[in-house]
Chain A
Amino acid sequence: MKRSSAYVIKPLMKYLRPYRGLLFAALIMAVINAAAVLYAPILTGKAIDLMIDAGNVDFDGIRPLLIAFALTAAAAALSQYIMNLCLNKLTYSAVRDLRCEAFAKLTKLPLKYYDTHSKGDVLSRLISDIEQISDGLIMGSAQLFTGVITIIGTIGFMLSINAKITLAVVLLTPLSLFAARYIASNTFKYFKRQTAVRGELTSYVEEMTGRLKTVKAFSYEKRSQKDFAEINDRFKGVSVSAIFFSSLTNPVTRFINGLVYAAVGVFGAFLVIKGSFSVGDLSCFLTYANQYTKPFNEISGVITELQGAFASAARTLALIDEAAESSDENADKLEYVDGTLSAENVYFSYEPDKPLIEELYLDVSSGQRIAIVGPTGCGKTTLINLLMRFYDVNSGEIRISNKPVKDITRDSLRSAYGMVLQDTWLKSGTIRENIAYSKPDADIEEIKAAAAAAHCDSFIRRLEDGYDTVITEDGGMLSAGQKQLLCIARAMLSLPPMLILDEATSSIDTRTELLIQQTFAEIMKGRTCFIIAHRLSTIKNADRILVMNAGRVIEQGSHETLMKQNGFYAGLYRSQFEDSDEK
């Protein structure tokens, strides 16, 4: 996907618009600053022209020049300060707005987006890409603008003094720009090599150091050190050339700068001798010659950064442009939940050419306990995705409390369900916050009661700070089982009329699981439940078992009926206890 810069600039302008006052002020200040900075050497030059020789210094002439110089310098400093402030405020505010809008979009994107984009990819669109926009695009554009103004201003001022030397400077200076470009394009191949080897090195370190326990278990240390030394030495070689060649830019441009300086000096000196030029003018030109190359070097740096920033902006804007979930603003709220659910001729697939759920019919009455079993990939989790409306059906209809789910708001639909998933996601924060995630206004007594019901009160109490123990996103010191218990407590706290348990106890040891099952049995009374589990022993007691295979419900009924049928379910059940049968 190649987006030209115009496609990016226009939408980005939207984020600058609220701060256009600041932008305008910054631009004006940039012009004032460039003018003042460039005018100052002229004043110095004039002052120098007034000091010709011993006894031949016009102090009365110098005095007003110095005052004017002081004012000019003050104006330059002040305008630069104001410009910086405006630009900072503008950049950081615009970037914050952009970031918040991107995040807001994130909360509205359909689940499909999450399932088809890696976490790293989405994260970088919100973090590093936006940083790049802030550094490269906004700050870079400002630099570009001041650079261009300075160049134009310098040429103007120089022309006002002497056209011939100006011509010399204008012709010579871009040399440094060309030199810089030439070096940059030639060092690119060294950089590419360095980047490749660095990638190799990093992934080797990630592999060996990141999985150090396995390395130690197999006494692999010496062998890995040998391999590492080989990559490390190669990295050394490519790094020296990459660093050296890339560092040529500064000395070479400085050298060319020196040549320009010498040329101005000599050419100017001849002109002074001829009388068409004063020593003060020469001094002024020398300062310009020094200053003039600076914006060129900056601009060449900015341009490379801009290219990267455009690519980043395109990525972030693509996220913002992504279609959100269909709006449910006008949909009704699900006010009353009677616990019934039905699905009629539902078709669904993640990818159009790979049909998954087909011809699905379901009729669940209030308070029923429904277990869903089947081999991996049969569509169990997909069914949950449809019930919670994480995905919308392709055709057919799902009704809850006799209302089509597409006619009610997602939030109210989801709040009808309590959910414990296989994936034990916890947020960084205290244990208390995590349990209360399902019900933010819960008081500590309610939280403790939920924890006790989920059999995690005792281990939480044993933690150093109890319920105020801070856990990291990946759960840190908690075991997989403990994390799952917390997720169960979280669901216990809100207890809506319907429950979804997707492998809710997969990481918990079987005895704790038994205790939890008792709790579940308690809360399931009067609630419609959907249970997914691999361990068939945990679902034997369901009112109805849906056996799924390849996206269809192929058998349903109670455990006893299904065993009697001696079909798919009976086979699954027996394979699990095969070993016991052998004895």
Chain B
Amino acid sequence: MIKLIAKYLKNYRFEAVAAPLGKLFEAVFELIVPIVMARIIDTGIKNSDTDYIAKMCAVLVVLGVLGLASSLTAQFFAAKAAVGLGTELRRDLFAHIDRFSYAEIDKLGASTLVTRMTVDINTVQAGVNMLLRLFMRSPFIVIGAVVAALYISVKATIIFLLFTPLMGIVIYWCTKKTVPLYKKIQQKLDSVTLITGENISGVRVIRAFSRQNDERTRFDNAADELCGIQTQAGRASSLMSPMTYVLVNIAIILILWRGGIDVSAGSLTQGEVIALINLMTQILLSLVRVAELVMHLSRTHTSSLRIAEIFGTQPAVSDSGNTMVKENHDAPAIEFKNVSFGYFNAERNALENISFSIKRGETVGIIGGTGCGKTTLIDLIPRFYDANSGEVLVDGINVKEYPFEQLRGKMGIVEQHAVLFRGTVRDNLKWRNENITEEQMIKALKTAQAYDFIMENGEGLDRTVGQDGKNFSGGQRQRLTIARALAGDPEIMILDDPASALDPATDAALRHSIAAGKGDSTIVIVSQRISSIRNADRIIVIEDGRIAGIGPHSELLKTCGVYAQICDSQMGKGGESV
């Protein structure tokens, strides 16, 4: 935690020093107050000196104003430093996450990354703000109060030196006992949330199997456990306040007794006894504040560890150091040479010894069962993952030698899930290339069979796209993602099951228009449907991560058993006719 915070506070050195310093001054002014009050009692009252009392009153007001001023300065700089730190941390983490390859995204999960970016950074920011303001103040007050006590009476200071650590120990002990319990509470609350969430999304299944009563028992148990831990934590934290209260009052009794003896001996005055009691109370309040802070900081600590973990994760695939390469336009557009690939936690390779090449301008279909490795295979072309062995070449050059922008800039990619971004249709179509013209956008929309529904309500390209594109139907979203990939005529089009949400007629129209408008683009289409790929120049059949056959439809029907089976399952015996 300290390393991360220190690194980002570097740019705010002045603020990070000014804030605690302001708090130090505030503490000093606050500590002088009891001493001034002692003077009022001992000098003013004793001598019935009203002028002196009025003067001291002015001193008190001045001390108050100075305290307020230093406190405000401290708050301002603390806010500035903490927010600055948060802002830079957020910027750097965002940029760092942007460097991740698919492997890290799979491993960490997108939702975790979002939490780290938002909740965790906000927690750290709030923690730093608090740290700068309060963590320094409390030790100042504690030390200052002891020093002030020393100034009043050396003997009484012994009581302070004895009781301050005692109170510290009690507070530390209670905090140490409760912090892990609070973590447990959070876990239990999470499981209550989980059960509730499951019961909401699974309501049909739960009722279909009449399991409501079991779910209730499950929930009641979780709620009971939560209640149990909460009560336990409450019991531990309930102790702190009474125990410290007892301690501070024992100290006050001792101060009174000792003070009585000293006053009797003439080495202490009445007002000083009051001042000592006051200082003791201030120490207690500060220590309690420290305890609250420690609780907060333990959360800051957890969050900062979670952030540091992300910073510590290095992308498995990186293009750093790569410069623009010169492609070989005579080489195949895409070539796989003995490629094998496995996901990070999988026992078996997802792809095993894959070799094929795709000529420039060729249309190639990829088909196979669920989980056979189709999507994995195409993810290697834009280098979303690196092959474990073998080589992937695009335009004759190994993909590892390209800068990402050059490599991926060649491609228009349609992912399996239709992901759109908030903004306008125009904004979304500009994703592949910022500078494409309106004509190119219209052309892409037409090819993707999206032109009609985009144009139907007058706004055209300026039509708003809501969060996740929810203002469009599934089929419309899918067509928009196709238009986005096609806009500006990429050299290579990679379409992963692009028609899964389309009805057969639109699917057919889409295929025709892509084939008609493709020019010399190379196209790779992944699909489960024979109808989507049967017209491709060649089809690659994947079975369990291996190539089971490559060739045109008619040839594969005869030579590739797997392919023939797929055809049978979709079109009935014979494949060609219904």
Contact = CB atoms under 8 A, between A and B. Distances in A.
A488 B281 CA distance: 69
Interface stretch (B155-163, B212-220, B299-307): B212-220
Nearest to B409: A219
Interface in A204-221: 205-221
Contact of B83 (A40, A213, A219, A239): A239
B557 to A, nearest CB: 13
A203 B45 CA distance: 65
A144 interface: no
A114 B78 CA distance: 46
B353 interface: no
12 contacts: A54-B266, A76-B242, A76-B245, A77-B245, A92-B231, A123-B200, A127-B193, A211-B421, A233-B87, A251-B68, A269-B40, A272-B45
A161 to B, nearest CB: 15
A225 B94 contact: yes
A55 B277 contact: no
Given A240-B79, A494-B209, A575-B503, A85 B238 contact: yes
Given A106-B200, A437-B209, 17 more contacts: A57-B264, A81-B238, A89-B234, A95-B227, A103-B199, A107-B216, A111-B203, A207-B422, A211-B419, A216-B101, A216-B384, A251-B67, A262-B64, A427-B202, A511-B569, A512-B369, A578-B504
A206 B117 CA distance: 9
Interface stretch (A3-11, A150-158, A361-369, A407-415): A407-415
Interface in B340-369: 347-348, 368-369
A215 to B, nearest CB: 7
A99 B192 contact: yes
Interface string A305-343: 000000000000000000000000000000000000000
A537 B575 CA distance: 13
A13 interface: no
A456 to B, nearest CB: 12
A224 B99 CA distance: 12
Contact of B531 (A84, A123, A579): A579
Interface in B125-151: 125, 129, 133
Contact of B212 (A107, A244, A258): A107
Interface string A281-303: 01100110010000000000000
A421 B266 contact: no
A25 interface: no
Contact of B370 (A206, A425, A481): A481
A243 to B, nearest CB: 4
Contacts of A254: 67-68, 71
Interface string B59-85: 011011101100110011011101110
A217 B411 CA distance: 9
B98 interface: yes
B91 A211 contact: no
A440 interface: yes
Given A54-B265, A575-B504, A239 B86 contact: yes
Contacts of B84: 236
A51 B61 contact: no
B257 A66 contact: yes
A443 interface: no
A510 B528 contact: yes
B61 A262 contact: yes
A561 interface: no
B98 A221 contact: yes
B264 A55 contact: yes
A354 interface: no
B210 A415 contact: yes
Interface in A174-220: 201-203, 205-220
A255 B270 contact: no
A240 B83 contact: yes
Given A388-B208, A507-B370, A84 B238 contact: yes
A459 to B, nearest CB: 8
Contacts of A223: 434
Contacts of A537: 570-572
Contacts of A479: 370-371
Q: Which of A201, A213, A248 has the most CB of B within 10 A?
A: A213
Top-9 shortest CB links A-B: A54-B266, A88-B234, A84-B238, A73-B249, A262-B60, A509-B369, A481-B370, A77-B242, A251-B71
A337 B537 CA distance: 55
B197 A580 contact: no
Contacts, number: 404
Interface residues of A, number: 144
B308 interface: no
Interface in B194-235: 194, 196-216, 219-220, 223-224, 226-227, 230-231, 234-235
A108 to B, nearest CB: 8
B576 interface: yes
B405 A54 contact: no
B565 A511 contact: yes
B498 interface: no
A261 B369 contact: no
A509 B370 contact: yes
B207 A410 contact: yes
Contacts of A576: 504
Contacts of A106: 196, 199-200
Contacts of B2: none
Contacts of A564: none
A482 interface: yes
A511 B245 CA distance: 75
B505 A213 contact: no
A265 to B, nearest CB: 5
Nearest to B414: A217
A473 B197 CA distance: 9
Interface in A369-397: 388, 390
Contact of A265 (B37, B200, B237, B431): B37
Interface majority SS (helix, strand, loop, mixed), chain B: helix
Contacts of A579: 504, 508, 531, 534
A279 interface: yes
Interface in A451-478: 462, 464, 473
A286 B207 CA distance: 66
A282 B40 CA distance: 11
A252 to B, nearest CB: 7
A212 B111 CA distance: 11
Contacts of B546: none
Interface string A435-446: 001101000000
A85 B234 contact: yes
A80 B94 contact: no
A248 B368 CA distance: 65
A415 B570 CA distance: 34
A44 B87 contact: no
Interface stretch (B47-55, B173-181, B389-397): B47-55
A77 B249 CA distance: 10
Contacts of A473: 194, 197-198, 201
A419 to B, nearest CB: 5
A265 B60 contact: yes
A279 B572 CA distance: 105
For A108, A205, A423, A425, the residue with the greatest tally of chain B CB atoms inside 10 Å of its CB is: A205
A143 interface: no
B105 interface: yes
Nearest to B245: A77
Nearest to B282: A290
Contacts of A77: 242-243, 245-246, 249
Given A254-B67, A270-B53, A212 B277 contact: no
A42 interface: no
A279 to B, nearest CB: 5
A265 B219 contact: no
A261 B40 CA distance: 13
A50 to B, nearest CB: 8
A232 B91 contact: yes
Contacts of A438: 209
Nearest to B475: A376
B419 A440 contact: no
